[in-house]
Amino acid sequence: MRQSARPLTPEEILGDDIQRLVRDMKDTMYDAPGVGLAAPQVGLSLQLAVIEDREDLLKALPAQEIRDKERRPVPFHVMINPRIVSLGADKVDFHEGCLSLTGFSAVVSRARSVQVEYLDERGEHHSVEASGWYARILQHEIDHLQGTLYIDRMHSRTFTSIDNWNRFWKGRPLPGTSADASST
C-alpha cells in the first residue's frame, strides 16, 4: 500500500489472471460499498483500479450535497497504468474516506478537474476529462497506485472517526464553503 505499484504489460492485461482480478475487484467494491478500489488495496502492487459511482448510491444523498460535489453517476470502468495528464487550478475541499482505513474521514483538498490517460481491461487507450466528485475519485485511486493514502493529503486537524463525523459534520457545510461535508 505504501509503494508505487508496477505497470501491467499488454500481455498481462489480456491474461486470465488480470481479467479475473477485475471481476473480483468489482465485486469487492460493490460489497463494500465503494466508488473505487485499487489493486494495492487487495494486496497486489499493480497499477489497476476499478471505478463506478452508481446511481443507487446517489439516491440516498441530499440533492444539495450532489450539487455541491458535482456528483453524478459514473459507469463502471477499469483503469490500468493511469497517468494524470493535467490537474485543474481550482481546488475543492471535502471529507474523504477510504475502504483501506474504514471508520475514519478527513478533509482533503483536491483539484476540481483532472485529465487522465489509461488503458482499459482490453488494453485499449482512453483519455478522460473529469470534474467534481469523479475527478476526486480518479485522484484518490491513482494516489493508491503511487503508494499515497488520503491521510497523506488531509488537513490533519479534520481527521475524525465516522461516528464523530456523523455526529458533528453530516449535513453541515465545511467552514468557508456551502458544501456538505460527507465522506467518499
* 177 lies in some domain: no
C-beta neighbour count of 127 within 10 angstroms: 10
- Could you give the CA distance from residue 108 to residue 167 in angstroms, rounded to a whole number? 19
Question: For position 181, what pLDDT does the model report?
Answer: 39
**126 in helix, strand or coil?**
strand
* 78 lies in some domain: yes
Q: Is 124 a catalytic residue?
A: no
Total structural domains within the chain? 1
Residues of the domain holding 35: 10-95+110-148
* 2 lies in some domain: no
pTM exceeds cut of 0.85: yes
Residue 135: band (very low, low, confident or very high) from pLDDT cuts 50, 70, 90: very high
Q: Which of 65, 96, 121, 141 is catalytic?
A: 141
pLDDT digits (tens, 9 = 90+) for 61-112: 999 999 999 999 999 999 999 999 999 999 999 999 999 999 999 999 999 9
DSSP for residue 8: P
Q: Burial level of 162, CB count in 10 A (0-12/13-18/19+)?
A: middle
CA nearest to 88, candidates 67, 74, 109, 64? 109
* 126 lies in some domain: yes
Query: CATH number for the domain including 57?
Result: 3.90.45.10
* 169 lies in some domain: no
- Could you give the CA distance from residue 125 to residue 25 in angstroms, rounded to a whole number? 21
Query: Three cell numbers at 61?
Result: 444523498
Residue 139 has pLDDT above 50, yes or no: yes
* 64 lies in some domain: yes
